[in-house]
Structure 1
Amino acid sequence: MENVEKQQYVSSSKASRMSEKKKDMLSGYLYVAPFFIIFGIIGLYPAVFSIVLAFQEWNGLGEMNFVGLRNFTVVLQDPLFWKSLYNTVIMGLMGTAPQLVVGLILAVFLNMAAIRFTNFFRVTIFMPYITSMVAVALVFGVFFSSNETALANYVMGWFGIDPVSWKTSEWGAKFAISLMVFWRWVGYNTIIYLAGLQSIPKHLYEAATIDGAGKVQQFIHITIPLLKPFILLTVFMSTVGALQLFAEPTVFLGSSAFTRDEAMTVVMYLYRDAFNLGSFGTASATAILLLVIIIGAAALNTWLTSGGGRRKKGA
């Protein structure tokens, strides 16, 4: 009898522990459920629907018609798509590459103990990032106006350079938009690099100084290697942001943004297809192609910045 009672007690205690474990598991799922529900509605469902829509012909109102890969064929055979991809890459390079270099230089200067009022400069450099995109575009629109009396043309006149029609010329629009992207994001990258610099132990620089290493040698052999995770982060985010360029050229060019091809980006191209032409199928196909391009470009940039090419060459 005693053995039977012990077995019953052990089994009942195990059952109660299992019950408590299930309750804890259920409560945990209930706590995280709102995030997954919102993510499924706002993020996952539109992504899946876009993939399905890429193989359909749909104007947003009528019935869908399955067309297979025809939407991809139409997009890839459209010269305007390749022009928009060219514009995106060029403006991405012009606006992104300089901001990474300048951001690192500014972070190094702001990290120096000899610089006074560092907090003021940090806030000032970060201000463009939190400024309204519409306000930024309006200011740059005045600065790079096509009028001969615009500030940019006025300054260029000091050096004997003819006025430029910034919003209609091929390279004028690209330069103005790239400068806008640079001005808005350089402070963001500077703050990230500054956080990375402040995480580097000071004793490494002290030991290097005792060993006779100069500032340049310390920067190359200590700062850059230890900042590699932060550099990879900024390169990845800048690459993705450059390929998704939309707000800056749209607001800067105004009503002519979707009627001219000097500064049309891939996102502007798919927006035009969807909401101006009512061709949601080709717009979704463009979105999928852009996703593939972003993944490839991000992987290539990550491989290059992580030294993959050098390791292969050294091997």
Structure 2
Amino acid sequence: MSYRLPARPRARFSYTRWQQRFAPYLFVSPFFILFLVFALFPLLFSLYLAFHLWSPLDGLGNWKFVGFENFALALGAQDLFWQTLKNTVWIGLLAGVPQHLVALPLAFVIHQSLRRYQSTLSTILFLPYITNAVAIAIVFATLYSERLGLLNYARGAFGLDPVRWLGDPGMVPYSVAAVVFWRYLGWNVVLYLSGLQAISEDVYEAATVDGAGRWQQFWYITLPLLRPMMFYAFTLTIVGNMQLFEEPFMLLNDGGGSGGAGLTTAMHIFNTAFRDLDLGYASAMSWLLFLAIFALSMVNNLLFSRGGER
């Protein structure tokens, strides 16, 4: 007589168990799907295209492998890449350095002496950052107008000759940098104010008791304790200025103004990809720009490091 094992009972579907095991993955899946489609895939595809010659008019799959030819072309002495990179760095220095030289002391003054109006001043200073780039370009194009601009009108009131703010190659970087400075100054002020609020008031009170003045407190207390926030703010400035596109594009069109003095690397990549339809070459320049940003960020990290650690 054979003994038959009893059949295992069929597992009943439990919504609670399913919810505990699979619902979290279902809820976070939209982020990963969007990240894969709109971030990771374009990133890997641009790296693939950097080693190929391809125009979107040729259709998918009709690309030609050229190795490092696109990179060699961009790094050649006759290419615009070096000139646009020089323009980008120069405009970035003209706009970025004054931003922090003004934003940090201004944030300190607001935090120490104008605390009652801190919210109002922060809002006013932050408005340019959230203003539409097209509106900014229209306003500054009107200010920079050679004949009808307010700046040249003010110069004429003092008997000075008009300046071709957007027509003179020597003035174009300064004109663009002024717009970038005006737009992002408030952003840096808000960053530094948030850093200042994290510093205990007891430190300043102890320094005041010891006879330290406002300048000594700023130099020996505020700056060292703001070091992490300064590193963060400088990093954002480097990344943003090296990818500068909106302001010069709106003010000077895709040519970068007279003599290409305002043509940034991001604009050159845009022209190569969507005007010349050479996506392989544009992808190679994009990765070279990434390497330049990475190198400058590492230099910034070294400047703010202590004993090799941030």
TM over 0.5: yes
Taking structure 1 as reference, are residues 231 and 117 closer, same or farther at Cα in structure 2, changes over 3 Å only?
A: same
Aligned to 2:293: 294
Aligned to 2:44: 48
| Greater percentage in helix | 1
Are 2:104 and 2:189, in contact at CA under 8 Å, matched by a contact in 1? yes
Taking structure 1 as reference, are residues 258 and 277 closer, same or farther at Cα in structure 2, changes over 3 Å only?
A: farther
Aligned to 2:197: 198
Give the superposed CA RMSD. Answer: 2.5
Residue 79 (structure 1) shift = 3.4
Structure 1 ranges of 4+ moved more than 4 A: 20-23, 113-116, 158-161
Normalising by the residue count of structure 1, what TM-score does the alignment of the two structures yield?
0.86
The alignment covers a number of residue pairs equal to: 294
Are 2:137 and 2:247, in contact at CA under 8 Å, matched by a contact in 1? yes
Residue 29 (structure 1) shift = 2.4
- Aligned residue runs from structure 1 range 186-225, under 5 A: 186-225=185-224
Residue 21 (structure 1) shift = 9.0
Residue 58 (structure 1) shift = 0.6
- Residues 164-207 of structure 1: per-residue CA shift (max 9 Å, x gap): 21222122111111000000000001011011111110011111
State the one-letter code of the partner of 1:184: R
Taking structure 1 as reference, are residues 259 and 161 closer, same or farther at Cα in structure 2, changes over 3 Å only?
A: closer
Quick check: 226-235 or 161-170, which moved more? 161-170
- Residues 12-67 of structure 1: per-residue CA shift (max 9 Å, x gap): xxxxxxxx999745333223221111111010000000000001101112111111
Aligned to 1:143: 143
Aligned to 1:93: 93
Distance 1:160 1:50 in 2: 54
- Residues 229-284 of structure 1: per-residue CA shift (max 9 Å, x gap): 11111100000000000000000113644885111000111111111111111100
Residue 105 (structure 1) shift = 1.5
Q: Give 3-state SS (helix, strand or coil) of 2:252's partner.
A: helix
- Aligned residue runs from structure 1 range 100-249, under 5 A: 100-114=100-114, 116-147=116-147, 149-158=148-157, 161-249=160-248
Q: Give 3-state SS (helix, strand or coil) of 1:82's partner.
A: helix
State the one-letter code of the partner of 1:168: G
Taking structure 1 as reference, are residues 308 and 79 closer, same or farther at Cα in structure 2, changes over 3 Å only?
A: farther
Taking structure 1 as reference, are residues 155 and 274 closer, same or farther at Cα in structure 2, changes over 3 Å only?
A: same
- Residues 101-160 of structure 1: per-residue CA shift (max 9 Å, x gap): 21112111211245653332221111111111111111110111133x422223334555
Please list every run of 5 or more consecutive structure 2 residues that lacks an aligned counterpart in the other structure: 1-15
Distance 1:220 1:258 in 2: 41
Are 1:110 and 1:122, in contact at CA under 8 Å, matched by a contact in 2? no
Aligned to 2:26: 30
% identical aligned pairs: 39
Q: Give 3-state SS (helix, strand or coil) of 2:170's partner.
A: helix
Q: Give 3-state SS (helix, strand or coil) of 2:277's partner.
A: coil
Distance 1:136 1:260 in 2: 23
Are 2:256 and 2:264, in contact at CA under 8 Å, matched by a contact in 1? no
Please list every run of 5 or more consecutive structure 1 residues that lacks an aligned counterpart in the other structure: 1-19
Are 1:75 and 1:286, in contact at CA under 8 Å, matched by a contact in 2? yes
Quick check: 213-222 or 233-242, which moved more? 213-222
Residue 90 (structure 1) shift = 0.3
Distance 1:103 1:303 in 2: 22
Aligned to 1:280: 279
Are 2:87 and 2:263, in contact at CA under 8 Å, matched by a contact in 1? yes
Normalising by the residue count of structure 2, what TM-score does the alignment of the two structures yield?
0.87
Distance 2:95 2:265 in 1: 16
Q: Give 3-state SS (helix, strand or coil) of 2:253's partner.
A: helix
Are 1:258 and 1:268, in contact at CA under 8 Å, matched by a contact in 2? no
Taking structure 1 as reference, are residues 224 and 255 closer, same or farther at Cα in structure 2, changes over 3 Å only?
A: closer
Q: Give 3-state SS (helix, strand or coil) of 2:57's partner.
A: coil
Q: Give 3-state SS (helix, strand or coil) of 2:220's partner.
A: helix
State the one-letter code of the partner of 1:264: L
State the one-letter code of the partner of 2:272: D
